[in-house]
Structure 1
Amino acid sequence: MGVIRGLGVYRQGRRIDGIDVVDGDLPGTPGLAEAVQKMADIAREEEESFAWIGLSQPTIEEIELMGQMFGLEHLYLEDSLNPHQPTKLDPQTDYDFIVMKILTYLDSTSDVETGQISVFIGEWFIVTIRLGPLGELGTVRQALEAKPKLLAHGPATVLHAIMDRLVDRYIEVADEINTDIESLEGEIFSPRPSDPESVYRLKRENLELRRAAVPLSRVAEELSKVGPSSFQKVFGPLFGDVRDHLLRVRESAETNDNLLMALLMASTARQDLMQNSDMRKISAWVAIAAVPTMIAGVYGMNFEHMPELSSTLGYPAVLLLMLTVCTSMYIAFKRSGWL
């Protein structure tokens, strides 16, 4: 897959003729770097125009080339290639740098997979850098290009659409985790409860959701309050809606965390009870087995003066005694719940 996943220059919400969406490598694909530079020049010089560049898994050389074209700082370019960057918003003079996490739920393993997308957004450009296989934005571009009136508001429209798509994924992940918790509740309170490891695994997946949603809600809060009044009139409610969705995801994640903690305590308690029950059963059978062992040990000492040895009823009498005592002990343990 090429590093350039999509590019275009938009004027008044419509892509300019002659600038095609391409799929290639920088600087490997002939003429691609020149095309990107041309788009940057057009977007910078013409009013009501902006460039939208989408990158996937770029190298440091390719990132530095984009930095030269759009005037991006080297420090933030390096941050965009670090998959462990926290979600954040760093406002600069000419642009803002935003890092967001991409989440998806894997049905096959019930795991939450994490990716990352970084966004450089200025008045006349928006550059997205995606790390990992998640978060394909082709459908976002297509949906926005079908709404030129909305896209005419500039790069902020693209940023909102990307955040909205990510939050939709967060909601899907939260719903799947809720479903897993409900299933886990049934397993834990079944006659043979599941191992606590399954609770720990779900807590880890829920933590991934919280780490993504909580800081992004703060980013959405900041974006809903910045900019001139004309910007606020259009995008204040939009980013506020994203923030509200993120707050619901955050509350869901916190509720899930509390439920999982309660399930962990219940699972551990049930495991302890089952282990105690097993120990009682073992102790009861050991006690029952000790009786015939003791009696056989007494008669196995080979003393000469033991009256029972000369009696014809001695052997069956001893066997009957063993059976009677063991049966009595079994009945007693059974009534007490040890067996």
Structure 2
Amino acid sequence: MVAPMPTPFERARLPLGRRPAVRSTGRPPGRLRVPVERAIDHCRVFVGGRRLPGEFTPGSALAETSGRGEGFVWLGLQGPDEDQMQKIAAQFGIHELIVEDVVSAHQRPKVERYDDQLFIVVRSVTYADKETVSNTRQIIETGEVQMVLGPDFIITIRHGTVLPRLDLRLEEDPELCAMGPSAMVWAVADHLVEEYGRISTLLSEEVDRLEEEVFTPGSRFNIEQIYTLKREILEMRHAIAPLVPALRSLTTDNKDLLGKQLRSYFRDVMDNGSIAADQVAGFDERLSSLIDASVAKITLQQNSDMRTISAVVGMAAAPTLIAGIYGMNFDHMPELHWEYGYYVVLGVIVLIVGLLWWWFRRKNWL
């Protein structure tokens, strides 16, 4: 009789050496297996608030912390596929639902708890620092950083983004590093939210420039710039707006996993995220107003152009009418054989055109 497979929660409670591999969901036949090492950015061990020298493999890192009875592992991954993530999950005892989310990616910012593990998603935002909006069609680019937090490990998975050496930041504060793997979660979230604030400042300058162009009398502007920037700001807004509720859930619903001091750090990140989200929402509203003002200004300019065109057509209508009458070639027409008839007609044409020009000028049509 085959023994039943333990549930994910039971598997997570087992010692590392006794944890069975996570059951594979299958893969298409003939698909090439890529070694898990190809997806690993780094694997580091922290003990007593200090990082141990050198890089580790996931197995040796877990063995190191298990042998010491303290410390935690920080494993960094870049876009792992299903096979690679299944192997990592088997070593760390990660819940199978987390594995599915990691492989599928494209998640909204969120915090989910699975027994003693947390799955946290934070979106990254980068800004193409160009002189003008028209120089590029992709001003804002978003990525994704996923974090799997366990009692003695933190796994960061990045999709379309780059993370700096955040371990150096923790080494500068051994007391913070001693708080465990949750301190690394704070470092990642704090870094990404700081980028939100920096990008918001750059976007503010861009929106101010567009406002100045639109509201300057007689200025010529490209309304496509406004639409492009609004589209990019909407993308950023969708990326960062759900983060604040997620962080609030992290600090209020997981007090047993986060210390009091660390919760205060996360609240600071949440405040900065709220400020950035409010700024981006304000940019969106300002750009909507700019679009309305631009459309109104363009409509007024088109009306002015149409009046000028109508005035020119009206001035040309009188000479055309007179020339058309005298071009009908009847034998009996007034002044047809008069010696000075040609000059009189030209004088009448000039007089009528002059009167029309004066009248249109007075009405500000010219």
Q: TM-score, normalised by structure 2?
A: 0.83
Partner Cα distance (1:305, 1:232) in 2? 110
The answer to whether structure 1 residue 241 and structure 2 residue 268 are counterparts is yes
Correspondence list, 1:95-174, <5 A: 95-108=117-130, 109=136, 111-132=139-160, 134-137=161-164, 139-174=165-200
Give the superposition deviation at 1:226.
Answer: 3.8
1:42 positional shift: 3.3
Quote how far apart the aligned CAs of 1:46 are: 4.2
How far does residue 7 in structure 1 lie from its aligned partner after superposition? 1.3
Contact 2:207 2:287 in 1 (8 A): yes
**Structure 1 unmatched ranges of 5 or more:** 23-34
Distance 2:232 2:300 in 1: 28
Identity %: 35
After the TM superposition, which segments of 4 or more aligned residues of structure 1 sit over 4 Å from their partners?
Answer: none
- Provide the C-alpha distance between the structure 2 equivalents of 1:94 and 1:42, rounded to a whole number of angstroms: 21
2:347 alignment counterpart: 320
What is the match of residue 281 of structure 1?
308
Contact 1:206 1:253 (C-alpha < 8 Å) held by counterparts: yes
2:285 — aligned with what? 258
Question: Cα deviation per residue 1:163-215 (whole Å; 9 max; x = unaligned)?
Answer: 00000111111111111100101221232332322212111121122212211
1:31 equivalent in structure 2: none
C-alpha displacement at 1:4, in angstroms? 1.8
SS, match of residue 309 in structure 1 = coil
Aligned to 1:26: none
- State the shift of 1:45 in Å: 5.8
Partner of 1:28: none
Distance 2:55 2:128 in 1: 30
Other-structure match for 1:11: 47
Question: How far 1:228 sits from its partner (Å)?
Answer: 4.2
**1:119 counterpart letter in structure 2:** M
Pairwise CA RMSD of aligned residues?
1.9
Q: Retained in 2: the 8 A contact 1:281–1:338?
A: yes
Structure 1 residue 87 and structure 2 residue 109: aligned?
Answer: yes
**Pairing partner for 1:270 from 297, 301, 304:** 297
Instruction: Choose which of 18, 40, 55 in structure 2 pairs with 1:21.
Output: 55
1:233-283 alpha-carbon deviations (Å, 9 max, x no partner): 211210110011011111111211111111111001001111111111111
Q: What SS is found at the alignment partner of 1:224?
A: helix
SS of residue matched to 1:250: helix
Q: How many residues align?
A: 323
8 Å CA contact 1:95–1:122 kept in 2: the answer is yes
Using structure 1 for the length normalisation, give the TM-score: 0.90
Q: Aligned-pair distance for 1:74?
A: 3.2
Deviates more, 1:283-292 or 1:216-225: 216-225
Q: How many Å separate the matches in 2 of 1:87 and 1:135?
A: 17
The 1:282/1:83 distance shift into structure 2, 3 A limit, reads farther
